[in-house]
Every structure is written in C-alpha cells, then in structure tokens.
Structure 1
Amino acid sequence: MPRKPRVADLVAYFKLEVVCGEEGLNRNITVADLYRPGLEMAGYFAYHPRERIHILGRTELTFFETLSAEDKRARMSVLCDPATPCIVVSRGLTVPNELIEEANRDGVPVLRTQLATTILQSRLTGFLEDKLAPTTTIHGVLVEIYGVGILITGGSGIGKSETALELVKRGHRLIADDAVEIRQTADNQLYGNAPELIKHLLEIRGVGIINVMTLFGAGAVRSSKRITVVVKLETWQQDREYDRLGLDEELTRIIDTDLPLVTIPVRPGRNLAVIIEVAAMNYRLKRMGYNAALQFTNKLTESLSGDLDDYE
C-alpha cells in the first residue's frame, strides 16, 4: 500500500512557503476534506474537524483582526490542535503573530501561498483525493482499445501479454502488463497504471522483455487509463455453457466498483486480439444505445409471434 501523503508533500508539490512549524512537516494527512474555520474564529469549537487541513483566507483573517488580544490568543490556541496536519494561509496574507506563536508551541506547520482561496481549495482537494484514493494491484494487462480501457485477466500463461502485443500492432495502446495498479476515485471510477519499474514493458515468453514505446513509438503507450470493461481469458471447458447471445451481462467487483465482465474461452484457432477488439466496439455501441443481442431477440420474438398468428 502506498504511504499516506505528508505535509512535506504539499509543500513540495504546490511550492508553499513554510512560515513556521517545520518540525511538523512529516505529519500524515489522513482525509481529503479541507476546512475553513470561520465558526471557530467566532469561538464555536463544538464540531471542529481537527483532522482536516485548515485554510485561512481573507474572510477569516479579516474577522480575526476584530477580536480582542485575549480572544485572538484563545482562538489560535484551540485552532492549533496536535491532530491538525497544517494550516494554510491563502492570497499571501500576513500571518497573525498569535498563530505563529501557538503553532510553534504545538509544532503545527503554518504554510502560505499566493493562490486565491477557492483555487487553493480546488487544487488541494484534487491532489489529496488522488493520493488518498483506495488502491489495489491486480495481475493482468491494461490496454486502451478505441478509447475504452480494457483490463485483461486470466491465469498465468493463458496469453494475456501476447494478446496485448497483437493489439498494440493493430494500433491500440498499452498501459500496463503483468501488474496493474488500480485506484478508485471519489465518484467510484477506476483508473489503472503500471508500476514505475515495469512502465512500457511487455513480457513475451520465448522472446523476453520488450519496450513497447521503443519498438512501436510513443503513440503505442499511455501512462494511465480509466477501466471500463474486464475481459477474463480462460481455457475452453467442454462442459461449460458459454453465453452465445450476449444478453447475460456479468459483473465483477474491483475495490467497491462493479464493472462489466466478458469471459472469453481460449482454444487454438481463436484470434483473441480481434475478439477483444470487437468486445470494446460492442461496449461502445451499447453505451450509445444499440444492443445487437437485444434487437435480435426482439426480432425473433416478433417472428415467432407472427408464425403463431398464421396458425390461428
């Protein structure tokens, strides 16, 4: 599991100025939600979310200046909680001395940026949601076919990498081979990428490891892709009844998200790359409202109904 982001990661990524509290830069950030402590400035701390990053903008600091010296120190004393990862001051505003003193006493980092408050909130939220998203790693191959992210799974040696190679030769793009790192976003979408060590690499038994970008060019790879369909390759089983119409839509769950599952039996003579390519195109057609299997079933039902009417 990747480590949780730290305050130091925010400082490096957003180039924030560290005003004070350097000893707290290694604090972990555990939630993506941010907080503007307006009510706390007025003295109401009943539901204070201490675990969130606090942002002080022009509104909060302007109100703060209207308080008495005693209230200023009292507010900042409670605001600088040991559980608070950091406090960020936006718009390059002047940091109150009371905040610096209390932050130094409790080791709470106080950071400053020139960004406007709303822009800062948006960028911080996006960064934290990405870093704190639920993740998992799955053995498989991730490719992009006609804009559709296809995760190919199956047993070892079933032909996943060879199929991916054929798909790349047909003009599609490789994202990851062997190990696919998957993260789930806040809206339950899944995105996959390759571990840095094996990025752009493909393992072909008998040939070895090849670099797809070097052999086929930069257009044959991409770094990340949303996963929308899972294709499972399995050895053909004579006694199993496979779906021949496509009416039964299987689902598989990854983390907390259900994805359409297409099971493709593998046996000599079947062109897996073409079949998966067609599965991707068929998925796109279904999303556009056209379902060939459903139309065939409806026509068949109408035809049978007409035949019965003739007998009557």
Structure 2
Amino acid sequence: MPKVRTKDLIEKFNFELIGGEEGVNRPIATSDISRPGIEMAGYFTYYPAERIQLLGKTELSFFERLTPKEKRERMSQLCTDITPGIIVSRDMEVPPELVEAAEYESVPLMRSPMKTTRLSSHLTNYLEGKLAPTTAVHGVLVDIYGVGVLITGKSGVGKSETALELVKRGHRLVADDCVEIRQEDTDTLIGNSPELIEHLLEIRGLGIINVMTLFGAGAVRSYKRITLVINLELWDKNKQYDRVGLDEEKMKIIDSEVTRLTVPVRPGRNLAVIIEVAAMNFRLKRMGMNAAEQFSNRLSGVINNESEHEDI
C-alpha cells in the first residue's frame, strides 16, 4: 500500500481543492518537490511528472506572458496520469487553463495561502518523514540523559525490568518490546512505539503496566533518535568481554551504523546503573573525552619511560 496519498496532504495542510477531485487517491512516491519553471517555457524533456508540482509567483507571472494557445499546451503537458497533484501557493488566482487540464486528467489541483519557499520546505519535511525507510526491532528504547539507547537481547534477559529501573531513576521510556525505526536522513534513525503498545511496559510476574499513569507524563516520550545500542546477553565464562573500551563495535540498522556495546548479564550486576553510565560515557566521547584512550596513552607513556631507563 502507498504510504502517502494526495488526500493526506490536503488533510494535513488544509489545502483548498480547486479541481481534479477524482485523483485525490493518487500515490506520492517521492519527497522531491518540483517547481516547473523551465516547463512553463516549453521544455518538458526531463519533466518529473511523478512529483508534486508547486506553482509560485515566478511560474504564474511567466505563464501570464504566454499566448492563449501556449497556455493550453503547457497546462495540458503539466497534467499527466501520474502527477500526484499541483499546488498553487500564496492564494493566487488559478489559471482557467490549469483548472481545465487538471479536470481532464483528474490531477488534484490545490491552493494554499503559504509562501512558496516555506510551503516547499514543509511539504518536503512531511513527505521525507512519511516515505522514510522503516523497520521494526525487538527491544526497548529509552531516553537516557538525551541519548537514545536501544536495549536489545534475547527474550527473558531482563530488558523490560532494566527499562523500569531506568524510568524509576528519572529517564524516559519510548518503546517496549517492539521499536519501530525509520531512517529520516543519512545516519539519522528515529525510533517510536507502535500505537497499540505506546507507554506500556510488560514485566513478567506483574503483567502490563502503564508507565505514564504510574510515573507521569515526564516518564515517557513519543519518539527519540537512536544513537547507542546496548545488547544484553547471559554471561558466558568462555567468552572474552571488552574490559578497556578501545574497540568500538557497530550495528547496521537499515543503512545507518550505530555504536553497539555488549553487556553480560549475571546476578549481582546492576544493569540500569551500567547502562546509565554507558550513556553518559557515550556523551563524553562525542564531546571529545575518551577515558579508554587517555588510559591507553598514559600506559604507553609509562612503558616508554621504563624502556628509556632500562637503556640507560
């Protein structure tokens, strides 16, 4: 099913529908907006007919200079069977030739009071959000000190219980069990909860609890950018775990790579505190302060000094 149709734009931006009502269910496949200035001059060789067409003051003022025959021809070429819609900005008067062509091809013809550049920006942002690549991941998403932390791991490892402890410590729950992720831009992953389970947390032995009802509106948020993944796994005594933190593991989600840490789980470890500190340490690294690198440099300095003394 198409993610966005022309009627969604009409409802979202409260556009005035001038003509072509039969085509309001046309799908919109791209977030790119076209301003057909060169097409108004008669050059349709590379006309991107599959895009939303936006006509502003520049295009319509040039259109008024054309002959009646040219006006009909240009509008006829502008309206195709795949054009999802044509929008006239600034509440300007819509040329009758455009209304006629739009009705003939059932192309939705809309009008908006907004300025052309601002309207183009709003349309692009809305369509990029709706048409962004999406996926779903089994895990818990929590906002910890402004860092979007996706907690993953096998079922029963303690993800939801850890999330509950983090909420009690003042952090905010975004999603539990299923996290819907969309890639809005290069290396920008936005996670949210499916509407059915929003604000809910499943704790084995307790059942389903409503975090917003129990802890207040400040304990939840609707969406958050994912910048860190923490994978919980049961402690394996035969596996070597990173004890210094110099090596940075990456996890690929859609087309973006996110830093991933693996935290072993065993009795006596306070996972909420560990994840909280991991988020703070991640923030410090982004600010240019890396404790592991500083320790490594100090250690190298000590080794070099000892080597120099031995040579003497």
Q: Could you tell me the TM-score, scaled by structure 1's length?
A: 0.99
Alignment deviations for residues 245-302 of structure 1 (CA, whole Å, 9 cap, x no partner): 0001000000000000000011111110000001001001101111111111111111
1:83 shift after superposition? 1.1
1:116 shift after superposition? 0.6
Superposition misfits of 4+ residues, deviation over 6 angstroms: none
C-alpha contact 2:152 2:230 (8 A) present in aligned 1:
yes
Report whether the alignment pairs 1:13 with 2:5.
no
SS in 2 for 1:84: coil
1:187 shift after superposition? 3.3
Report whether the alignment pairs 1:100 with 2:99.
yes
Q: Which amino acid aligns with 2:68?
A: A
Q: 1:127 is matched with which residue?
A: 126
Q: 2:157 is matched with which residue?
A: 158
Between the aligned partners of 1:58 and 1:308, the Cα distance in structure 2 is 76
Q: Could you tell me the TM-score, scaled by structure 2's length?
A: 0.99
Q: Which amino acid aligns with 2:207?
A: G
Structure 1 gap segments, 5+ residues each = none
Between the aligned partners of 1:5 and 1:16, the Cα distance in structure 2 is 15
1:186 shift after superposition? 2.4
Alignment deviations for residues 216-262 of structure 1 (CA, whole Å, 9 cap, x no partner): 01110000100000000011111111100000100000000000000
1:3 shift after superposition? 4.1
Between the aligned partners of 2:108 and 2:2, the Cα distance in structure 1 is 20
| Matches for 1:32-43 after TM superposition, within 5 Å | 32-43=31-42
Report whether the alignment pairs 1:195 with 2:189.
no
Q: Which amino acid aligns with 2:85?
A: C
Report whether the alignment pairs 1:210 with 2:201.
no
Alignment deviations for residues 36-80 of structure 1 (CA, whole Å, 9 cap, x no partner): 101111100011011110001111111111111111110011100
Between the aligned partners of 1:119 and 1:309, the Cα distance in structure 2 is 66
Identity across aligned pairs (percent)?
62
How many residue pairs get matched?
Answer: 311
CA RMSD of superposed structures (Å): 0.8
Q: Which amino acid aligns with 2:272?
A: A
Q: 1:291 is matched with which residue?
A: 290
Q: 2:277 is matched with which residue?
A: 278
SS in 2 for 1:185: strand
Between the aligned partners of 1:3 and 1:283, the Cα distance in structure 2 is 38
Structure 2 gap segments, 5+ residues each = none
Between the aligned partners of 1:188 and 1:292, the Cα distance in structure 2 is 25
C-alpha contact 2:187 2:257 (8 A) present in aligned 1:
no
Q: 1:76 is matched with which residue?
A: 75
Report whether the alignment pairs 1:259 with 2:255.
no
